[in-house]
């Protein structure tokens, strides 16, 4: 007789990751071996782990291809409205495991093999899972966001050559290569306006499949790569300069060479503007080609009717980077398709919608007119005309209000004059949204106040979300299985089901199971740190995690002040009992952002002193996570006890890291900023550690003036910390190393770190108190997990679909392909 199964084994048996039958396993092994031999031309004697990964990736892709083709056929047959999501950056992640989960193949494949590959963002995952006919469009950067090395405490950037070994997920589509024009001049002819004497760069599409969760839908992410045309510059050279001309092709292909790091600071670089137009021009040609070939579209051979264009096409502008879609669509409709201006403008506005992502003024794109004139002369004319008609309308509504006209103009006066791309987006879109409720209110009340007064119905909120398939099922299978055991696995497509967990809030065995899963994750992460960083940490300590881009407004400095305060308290009274803590900070600084790089150096310097102080022991450790990225997030987030979300109120648009931590059972210490506000609402404010100024307090302080010295003089613990940094306690070989940091904090800190210091320290004391009571801590964790249902990207995308794109999510399962398709229309 077999012995009874343990709870863990039972959970393993009913794992929500999908159980593959023996036949699947045999089939997958055969396919795996075939790809190892015939695709990679290797045998097991010489194959590397990367070869095995590629063989497995090709095997999984084989399962996708039939569904991918069938999905596109299905869209052709049904002709639904298509959504086009334009973004200059799609984040990286693990495609292989995500794909296996969405296909239900996870248990049939070896989970140990993974690699960092392009991940198509939570939104594209949700669009496919909700059965929306959606396309993600962006640039296929040869070099992604840089790899970060920490050398002697300083950030050093290294190129991320992610395509060096190829990408098994993408399919090149040279047959859909499209021309993109730059420079040249505008000519007025009898037949209308012509843009002539341009330089052409070709846009070559690479398609990546985006599978929905177990619904047979496979959408497409299409990324464009820049290629020089065959005759690029050759006509300009004599025979002797042929070699030089060929070498010059690199200039054209530089457009898709490298991703600009997002540092919330606008720099008007010509290459960046080229990238922005390149993706927009190629994408719009692609969209219009698909519209014209639509089965039910008007297919008049002489002239396409664009009357139905907004009924069949939605374009979502993710931030201002793809804003040029507005003048480019106008150029196509007016110059090429010969629509009259008013009709073209109506079509453009009804098609485009804009998502705002930042309220920081220095991040808003403002392109100099002279650069536009040189690079995109026709688009400049179109923007001038859009602005002229827009200001005419405003002047009629507010006669004599010249100040309002100046504030609302698309063109900012100055030397040089600049185009305000956010204003262009607002004027040229039928919907404008922020990404958390507090952010959307700020957008209406400050950033676009004048525009909101004119067209209030245009402004909406769409609170961000994350996909539970990646950010729970894939990265935290132990927790996912435990939840499924209690409430079933419907939560993976309806995250609000997590509310049912509240029924078990007083069940001791469930509380214990949740705590055990967290402890297992912590031990696993501690082992990873020991292996990768050669640092031993205490798995019983609070894992206090602060991972995000390094930026002054995200206030990593406030965290550092708490770390040093805690250190000083231990040194002052070494025999006292302190709740042990491991502070883990990670994130990249934009290469040109001096203060962000100094913040990294300060964190590592403080860590160096604390981690080597025998008095402290394992009561406090400070670790800087090198090269923080999605695949590292998947390890650290499930292990977190405390999630730091401490930006100055009114500066963070939403955040999504905060949601990932909440879903994975970390408690949040945070300000009432971004999505934290709604998280507190969903879980109950008493179940988060909320501290500090609210938006109205910050506004009031802006009016009266913020005086850092007043806090420095009043708060003795703060004064001690600042003096230590200032006098070189953490930089004994270079006493003045951090003078810029101290100078900024004392004299021109826009983000008011000292103003929230006292409240933050008090709040951290509350964290320690609760952690001393493991049962109450875990019950608070359960309340947070149960309250995270709102933060699914499925909910976000359903709202975009209904309120902005005018389409209804579908739970139709596309019939799987039974035979090789005759024709495919991508």
Active-site residue numbers?
357, 548-549, 554, 656, 660
For residue 735, CA distances in Å to 357, 624, 639 come to 39, 22, 36
For residue 155, give the 3-state DSSP assignment: strand
Neighbouring-strand partners of residue 449: none
The residue written with tokens 């070559």 in the block is 204
For residue 493, give the 3-state DSSP assignment: coil
Joined together, the tokens standing for residue 602 give 């300060």
Q: Which residues contact 579 (CB under 8 A, 6 or more apart)?
A: 541, 542, 768, 771, 772
Q: Would you say 70 and 817 are in contact if contact means Cβ atoms under 8 Å apart?
A: yes
Neighbours of 773 (CB within 10 A): 11
DSSP string across 114-145: ---EE--HHHHHHHHHTT--EEEEEE--SB-S
d(Cα 516, Cα 479) in Å, to the nearest integer?
10
Return the closest-CA partner of residue 443 out of 467, 461, 425. Answer: 461
For residue 796, CA distances in Å to 80, 82, 343, 799 come to 20, 17, 31, 5
End-to-end CA distance of the chain: 57
Neighbouring-strand partners of residue 150: 155
Q: Would you say 796 and 124 are in contact if contact means Cβ atoms under 8 Å apart?
A: no
Burial class (CB in 10 A: 0-12, 13-18, 19+), 297: middle
For residue 268, give the 3-state DSSP assignment: coil
Q: Which residues contact 302 (CB under 8 A, 6 or more apart)?
A: none
d(Cα 802, Cα 255) in Å, to the nearest integer?
36
Return the closest-CA partner of residue 595 out of 755, 744, 723. Answer: 744
Q: Would you say 211 and 96 are in contact if contact means Cβ atoms under 8 Å apart?
A: no
């Amino acid at each position: 007789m077999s012995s009874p199964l343990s709870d863990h084994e039972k959970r393993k048996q009913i794992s929500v990751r999908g159980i593959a039958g023996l036949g699947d396993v045999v089939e997958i092994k055969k396919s795996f071996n075939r790809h190892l031999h015939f695709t990679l031309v290797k045998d097991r004697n010489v194959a590397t782990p990367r070869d095995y990964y590629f063989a497995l990736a090709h095997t999984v892709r084989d399962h996708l291809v039939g569904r991918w083709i069938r999905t596109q056929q299905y869209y052709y047959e049904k002709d639904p409205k298509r959504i086009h999501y334009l973004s200059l950056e799609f984040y990286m992640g693990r495609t292989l495991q995500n794909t296996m989960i969405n296909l239900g193949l996870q248990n049939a494949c070896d989970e140990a093999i993974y690699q960092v590959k392009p991940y198509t963002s939570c939104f594209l995952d949700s669009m496919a899972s909700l059965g929306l006919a959606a396309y993600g469009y962006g640039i296929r950067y040869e070099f992604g966001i840089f790899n970060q090395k920490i050398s002697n405490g300083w950030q050093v950037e290294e190129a991320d050559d992610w395509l060096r070994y190829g990408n098994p997920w993408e399919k090149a589509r040279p047959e859909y290569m499209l021309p993109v024009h730059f420079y040249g001049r505008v000519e007025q002819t009898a037949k209308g306006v012509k843009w002539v004497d341009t330089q052409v760069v070709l846009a070559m599409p690479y398609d990546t499949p985006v599978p929905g969760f177990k619904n047979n839908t496979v959408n497409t992410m299409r990324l464009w790569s820049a290629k020089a045309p065959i005759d690029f510059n050759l006509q300009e050279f004599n025979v002797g300069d042929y070699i030089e001309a060929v070498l010059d092709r690199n200039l054209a292909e530089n457009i898709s060479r490298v991703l600009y790091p997002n540092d919330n600071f606008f720099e008007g670089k010509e290459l960046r503007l080229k990238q922005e137009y390149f993706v927009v021009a190629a994408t719009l040609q692609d969209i219009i080609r698909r519209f014209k070939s639509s089965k039910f579209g008007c297919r008049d051979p002489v002239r396409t009717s664009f009357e139905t264009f907004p009924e069949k096409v939605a374009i979502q502008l993710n931030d201002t980077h793809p804003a040029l879609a507005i003048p480019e669509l106008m150029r196509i409709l007016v110059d090429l398709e010969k629509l009259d201006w008013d009709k073209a403008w109506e079509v453009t506005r009804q098609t485009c919608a804009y998502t705002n992502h930042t309220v920081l003024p220095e991040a808003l794109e403002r392109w100099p007119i002279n650069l536009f004139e040189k690079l995109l002369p026709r688009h400049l004319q179109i923007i001038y005309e859009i602005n002229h008609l827009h200001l005419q309308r405003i002047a009629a509504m507010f006669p004599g209000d010249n100040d309002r006209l100046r504030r609302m103009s698309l063109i900012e006066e100055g030397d040089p004059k600049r185009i305000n791309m956010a204003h262009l987006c607002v004027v040229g879109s039928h919907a404008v949204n922020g990404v958390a409720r507090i952010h959307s209110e700020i957008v209406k009340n400050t950033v676009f106040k004048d525009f909101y007064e004119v067209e209030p119905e245009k402004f909406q909120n769409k609170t961000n979300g994350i996909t539970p398939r990646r950010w729970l099922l894939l990265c935290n299978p132990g927790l996912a299985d435990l939840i499924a055991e209690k409430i079933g696995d419907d939560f993976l497509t309806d995250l609000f089901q997590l509310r049912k967990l509240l029924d078990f809030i007083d069940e001791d065995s469930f509380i214990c199971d949740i705590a055990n899963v967290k402890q297992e994750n912590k031990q696993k992460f501690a082992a990873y740190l020991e292996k990768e960083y050669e640092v031993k940490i205490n798995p019983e300590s609070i894992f206090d995690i602060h991972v995000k881009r390094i930026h002054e407004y995200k206030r990593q400095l406030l965290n550092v002040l708490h770390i040093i305060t805690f250190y000083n308290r231990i040194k002052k009274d070494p025999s006292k009992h302190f709740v042990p803590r491991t502070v883990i900070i990670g994130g990249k600084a934009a290469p040109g952002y001096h203060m962000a790089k100094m913040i990294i150096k300060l964190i590592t310097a403080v860590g160096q002193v604390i981690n080597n102080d025998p008095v402290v022991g394992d009561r406090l450790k400070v670790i800087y996570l090198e090269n923080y990225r999605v695949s590292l997030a998947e390890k650290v987030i499930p292990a977190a006890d405390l999630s730091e979300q401490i930006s100055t109120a009114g500066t963070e648009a939403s955040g999504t890291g905060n949601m990932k931590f909440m879903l994975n059972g970390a408690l949040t210490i945070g300000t009432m900023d971004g999505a934290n506000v709604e998280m507190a609402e969903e879980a109950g404010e008493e179940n988060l550690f909320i501290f500090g100024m609210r938006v109205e307090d910050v506004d009031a302080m802006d009016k009266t003036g913020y005086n850092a010295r007043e806090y420095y003089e009043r708060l003795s613990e703060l004064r001690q910390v600042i003096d230590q940094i200032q006098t070189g306690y953490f930089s004994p070989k270079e006493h003045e190393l951090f003078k810029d940091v101290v100078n900024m904090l004392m004299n021109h800190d826009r983000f008011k770190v000292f103003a929230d210091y006292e409240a933050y320290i008090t709040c951290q004391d509350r964290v320690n108190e609760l952690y001393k009571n493991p049962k109450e801590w875990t019950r608070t964790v359960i309340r947070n997990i149960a309250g995270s249902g709102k933060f699914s990207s499925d909910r976000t995308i359903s709202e975009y679909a209904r309120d902005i794109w005018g389409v209804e999510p579908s739970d139709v399962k596309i019939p799987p392909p039974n035979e090789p398709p005759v024709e495919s229309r991508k």
